[in-house]
Amino acid sequence: MNLSKPQRIYYRIAGHLFCIEGEDVFFIQRYLLSAKPFMVEDIINEQPLFVLKIGENIPDWYHESLPDWHVETLYTFDGETDDCAFARYDNGYLFRMDSREENDSVLMIKENGSSVFYSNFSPYKKYAFSNLSFLLWVVYGLATVSLRSVSIHASTIFYNNKAVLFLGESGTGKSTHTRLWVKHIPGTNILNDDSPIVKIENNQVNAFGSMWSGKLACYKNESYPIAAMVRIRQAAFNKIHHLDVIQALGAVFPSCPTLFAYDSLLSDFICNTISTIIESVPIYILDCLPEKESAFLSFTTIFKE
C-alpha cells in the first residue's frame, strides 16, 4: 500500500490561486515551464479557488457502462494530437482528450458544487505536457467563469501601461498585427499571444498574462487596464471603425471559450462578463493588410491625442 502524502504546487493567474495535487507532482515543474512565472510559494491562511488532483482513477464514460450518469456531449473538437470532448452529466462536467497517437486518454471530472477537479493525468505516462497545459486551461476556465473572468483568444500588446487585445479567427493575422506594433511603435510589448485572461475587478477591465500563449513563449505575470479590443479581418485596404453594443457583443463572444458556449449556465456567465466589458471598453473592427500602415491606423485610433 502506498501511503505517501500527496504533494501540492500552487499557482496564481489573474489573481486566482489554485493548486495541482498528486504524488510526485513536483515532476511537473521541470516540464511545464509556461507555468513557472505564476508559481506561488509560502501559502499561509489562503485557500485555493480550486484544486486539480492528478493521478486519479476515473471511470471512462466512453468505454464503461454508466447509465446513471446520463452523459450529454456538449462539444467536440480536434486538438493538435487529440480528439477532445466536453460533456455534462447529472452531477457536473466531464472533459477528455483521446490521443490519435495511441497514447492514454486524459480524463477530467468535476462535480457540481465542488472546487476539486479530478484527472487521471500522470507525469509518468506517455503524454505531451501540452495536454496538461490544455487541461489546466479548461479547468481554470470552468472554475473562474462565474467570477467575471474569461479567457479571450487574442494576441495582446501593452503600450503606455494599457493593454490592447487583437481578436480574430485563427490565421487572420492577429499575431502579425501585434508584431507590427512591436516593430514600428516604440514602447510596445507583447503581453500574451493566444489566451490572456480578461477580468473585471473594482469596476475596471484588466488583461492578465497567462501560461497559455500559443506558439510564442510569452508567459508574463503582469496585468494592465484594457484600452481597447480590436477584431481583425483580412482585407485589401486598411479601415477601422467603432462598434455599437450589439456589434461589439458579436465581435467579442466568438473569441471566448467555444466549448462553454453550448452549456446555458456557462454561456450566461460569459455573456454577463462581456456585457460589462463592452460598457467600458471600446470595441473596433479593423479591416487591414499586413503592413505597418495598419498598425499606425489602429494605434492612432486607440491612443489618439
What is this structure's pTM? 0.94
How many whole angstroms separate alpha carbon 72 and alpha carbon 154? 30
Q: What is the mean pLDDT of residues 51-58?
A: 95
Query: Lowest-pLDDT range, 44-48, 120-124, 185-189, 265-269?
Result: 120-124
3-state secondary structure of 272: helix
Looking at per-residue pLDDT, the higher value among 110 and 24 belongs to: 110
Instruction: State the pLDDT at residue 72.
Output: 96
All structural domains of the chain, each given as residue ranges with its CATH number in brackets, are 7-147 (no CATH), 149-302 (3.90.228.20)
Q: How confident is the model at residue 126 (pLDDT cuts 50, 70, 90)?
A: low
Please say whether the beta carbons of 18 and 11 come within 8 A: yes
Instruction: State the pLDDT at residue 4.
Output: 61
Cβ-count burial 99-124 (b if 16+ within 10 Å, e if not): beeebebbbbbbeeeeeebbbbbbbe
Per-residue pLDDT tens digits for 16-39: 999 999 987 888 888 899 999 999
Instruction: State the pLDDT at residue 79.
Output: 83
Q: What is the mean pLDDT of residues 151-174?
A: 96
Percent of the chain with pLDDT over 90: 83
Percent of the chain with pLDDT over 70: 97
Is pLDDT at 128 greater than 80 in this prediction?
no
Instruction: State the pLDDT at residue 31.
Output: 84
Q: H or E segment at 138? A: helix 129-144
Instruction: State the pLDDT at residue 127.
Output: 65
Instruction: State the pLDDT at residue 264.
Output: 97
Instruction: State the pLDDT at residue 122.
Output: 87
Instruction: State the pLDDT at residue 179.
Output: 98
Is pLDDT at 284 greater than 90 in this prediction?
yes
Query: Lowest-pLDDT range, 33-37, 87-91, 126-130, 190-194?
Result: 126-130
SS (H, E, C) 225-244: EEEEEEEEEECCCCEEEECC
Instruction: State the pLDDT at residue 101.
Output: 82
Per-residue pLDDT tens digits for 201-252: 998 999 999 999 998 999 999 999 999 999 999 999 999 999 999 999 999 9
How many whole angstroms separate alpha carbon 261 and alpha carbon 274? 13
Chain-centroid distance, C-alpha 222: 15
Instruction: State the pLDDT at residue 1.
Output: 39
DSSP 297: H
